[in-house]
């Protein structure tokens, strides 16, 4: 059975950057299962898995535009320190959340000074080439409920 829209694909992956640094892996855990054609994984990886069957092994290089997007320097900005609770100890590297017209967003604190906090709204993997070693373990038809919900229901999950 081939990976195509409306099928569940289960695979193991190891993700590295262009320097070989390990970013993530499903090895030692449950394989990642997703509903193909529904945008549940990054575009570049889903495209590379299109038409693949169980047993497929490959290295897939995903460009930033097909991964988490290009790094946007305009997404780094300073906000007044007064926008945070006074008792909160804001440190570089922290993840903080804020809300805008698009809903809840996450930001990384990249600098703190006396007047403000510099935040980065880019995804941590924005601008990076993503190198996946993938092994497709299973391709199956999705259930009617998975199709109606637009995602996989693992281990009898229901909602």
Can you give the pLDDT of all 159 residues of the chain as single tens digits?
999 999 999 999 999 999 999 999 999 999 999 999 999 999 999 999 999 999 999 999 999 999 999 999 999 999 999 898 888 899 999 999 888 788 888 999 999 988 899 999 999 999 999 999 999 999 999 999 999 999 998 755 555
Architecture of domain 73-120: Beta Barrel (2.40)
Q: pTM for the full model?
A: 0.81
From the list 5, 43, 53, 1, the residue with the least C-alpha distance to 150 is 5
What is the CB-side half-sphere exposure of residue 137 using CA atoms within 13 A? 11
CATH: 2.60.40.350, 3.30.70.2190, 3.10.50.40, 3.40.50.150. Which one for 7-68+125-156? Answer: 3.10.50.40
């Amino acid at each position: 059975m081939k990976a195509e829209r409306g099928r569940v694909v289960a695979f193991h992956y190891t993700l590295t950057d262009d320097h070989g640094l390990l970013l993530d892996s499903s090895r030692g855990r449950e394989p990642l299962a997703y509903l193909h054609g529904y945008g549940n994984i990054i575009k570049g990886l889903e495209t590379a898995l299109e038409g693949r069957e169980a047993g497929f092994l490959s290295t897939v290089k995903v460009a930033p535009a097909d991964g988490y997007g290009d790094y946007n320097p305009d997404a780094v900005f300073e906000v007044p320190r007064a926008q945070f609770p006074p008792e909160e100890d804001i440190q570089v590297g922290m993840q903080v959340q804020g809300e805008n017209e698009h809903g809840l967003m996450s930001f990384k604190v990249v600098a703190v000074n006396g007047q403000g906090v510099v935040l980065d709204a880019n995804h941590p993997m924005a601008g990076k080439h993503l190198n996946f070693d993938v092994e497709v373990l299973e391709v199956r038809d999705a259930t009617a409920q998975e199709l109606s919900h637009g995602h996989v229901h693992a281990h009898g999950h229901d909602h």
